[in-house]
Structure 1
């Protein structure tokens, strides 16, 4: 285990401990959003109603996550009940609902939002006229006079106004004034029951003792027959059995899970590289021509064969003259000296002296001294510089 791995492991453990301490020390935060979700146990979810609705409506509830428009395109039902709770209903779906109500179905719609077109066509208007923090909901029927529900937490204050005479007021909000919040509209052979405060079905209010009686009274207006609930939750869809379901359902465990995955990703990036041997540094080959020449020169110097060295130096010089200056070196006469003078710009006397030493080096019988070799080497270098 290398030091880098130990460092990342230590950092990961510290972060996990800090997150655990923060999770343990923080207080639970209540979600007061009005989500009306059948799977939510928060105050304004519909989890409890979803569990109790079958008993409330005599086990004749059919749930669907389709819109009314899509549902009734494929389903042809005899007169039945329709239940909608705080769902957005498009105009085509409303037309399907009204068509079924006209044929004898009954619709219970609990929402504070109705489209202006539908409201105008049915003869009512929804507005927010009650701005109090709490008020009492009661029903107008005397047999339900003892059953009421107190809205004491985030009521919408939505009510029905401009109700025409043929509409029946079934429930009111009692504050400083009495304003309708539950009405019945006759439509063809059926009826529309509209309630402007869907909060009555949420977990927060159903858990309060006595409130269930008011809810039972509201639904008692529906006949005892099959009810289609457009809940957006389809029981025919299999519940996820993934092992991660429990982890992802808890915020603390969910954060820890994502942190674990992030830590593993960092570990893979920084520590899971392919290991290989260190590639040796191969130095470029050095040009040892100069060293070779020096070695050969030292060899000749040690042997004392100055004549052979002069001959080779002369041969090398004449070869360069032929190749670089394009001068014929067959005859080392006055013509050669003059041409070499013109092309190199060196003095004629220096070239003549170098030529005599070249001839001496080429003569196998000439007597050569070290001084001759040194002088010729100096002159030849000066001429070709």
Structure 2
């Protein structure tokens, strides 16, 4: 057994001992996240409601594991109730829901927020948030005045504002430090009705398990007609497709996985540090193209043959016009100038001046100067810029 293996074994044992001690001394932590998952037993899950919902709806409820868009695209239903509980709904599914309601079905949306277009259709423009630590949910109907729920754990504080006159207020949120706010409304839509409750916490495990709170829930759902109710859950959308989901879902396997990864990282780190070869310094290849161009340019300047340089510049310019702008350069007439003007956007004055210099460069008997070369370079480069 070599020294390196002993080091790795000691590190591994130390890590395992530390993890074991942490696991033994770990206290159970309550998950207070608002997940609204029908299968979740945490305080803000819907496990209790999911277990009692069939009794609540007199065994006339059907759970749908599809989006409303997919379900109604495949099924034609008679008049029924639609139930949505704190769930993201795509735009096309909202359209399907509103279409079913307009035919005479009823929809109950127990959601903290809905898209702006849908809320405008329902009859309110926005929802406001209060930061009170405690509030009470109650219904406005006098026969339900003794049925209420006290929210003492993380109330969202949401309520409706800018409610249209034709909307009926069925429930309110009562706070000590402020006036009552509407949290449960009803509006007519086509032949059906839409009910919206913006505080879904009253359906969670924490509140349903408290004595007397179930009565408020029964009162809320009593507004729906006694007929088939479709609860759109779409659980499959929440199931992780990650190939490691099973390992990461089990604490013991998750710890083992991270320890394995940590061991591999340490192994790679120590081996790479000891075995990596010295990286030789490789001088990058020198780009001699620029030096070559400078040398050729200096030769032309020393020779002083400005006419030849202008001719080559004109030849290069015309070739570029043919290849990139697809303009025939055989005749440098007004038609050529017009096409060049349209494709480059340069002024006709500049283009005509450039054409004159090109013709001068192509004339073997013309007399040119250094200034003509500089002027030509500047104008032709500007035209193709």
Judging changes above 3 Å, is the alpha-carbon distance between structure 1 residues 259 and 119 closer, same or farther for their aligned structure 2 residues? closer
Equivalent in the alignment of 1:200? 202
- Structure 2 counterparts to residues 168-183 of structure 1, below 5 A: 168-175=168-175, 176-183=178-185
TM-score, normalising length: structure 2:
0.61
Equivalent in the alignment of 2:86? 86
TM-score, normalising length: structure 1:
0.61
Bigger Cα Rg: 1
Q: Return the offset for 1:15.
A: 1.4
Equivalent in the alignment of 1:383? none
Structure 1 residues 212-236: Cα deviation after superposition (integer angstroms, max 9, x where no partner): 111111112122222211112159x
Conserved 8 A contact 2:12-2:263: no
- Structure 1: runs of 5 or more not aligned: 271-385
CA–CA distance in 1 between the matches of 2:129 and 2:13? 56
Q: Return the offset for 1:189.
A: 2.2
Equivalent in the alignment of 1:231? 233
Structure 1 residues 164-217: Cα deviation after superposition (integer angstroms, max 9, x where no partner): 333221111112312210011122222111001011112221222221111111
Judging changes above 3 Å, is the alpha-carbon distance between structure 1 residues 76 and 24 closer, same or farther for their aligned structure 2 residues? same
CA–CA distance in 1 between the matches of 2:262 and 2:131? 51
Count of residues paired in the alignment: 266
Conserved 8 A contact 2:187-2:194: yes
Conserved 8 A contact 2:156-2:199: yes
- Structure 2 counterparts to residues 343-354 of structure 1, below 5 A: none
CA–CA distance in 1 between the matches of 2:87 and 2:69? 13
CA–CA distance in 1 between the matches of 2:112 and 2:122? 15
- Give the 3-state SS of the residue equivalent to 2:235 in structure 1: coil
Judging changes above 3 Å, is the alpha-carbon distance between structure 1 residues 254 and 43 closer, same or farther for their aligned structure 2 residues? farther
Equivalent in the alignment of 2:123? 123
Judging changes above 3 Å, is the alpha-carbon distance between structure 1 residues 121 and 267 closer, same or farther for their aligned structure 2 residues? closer
Equivalent in the alignment of 1:142? 142
- Give the 3-state SS of the residue equivalent to 2:117 in structure 1: helix
- Structure 2 counterparts to residues 210-229 of structure 1, below 5 A: 210-229=212-231
Equivalent in the alignment of 1:71? 71
- Give the 3-state SS of the residue equivalent to 2:183 in structure 1: strand
- Structure 2: runs of 5 or more not aligned: 270-385
Equivalent in the alignment of 2:255? 256
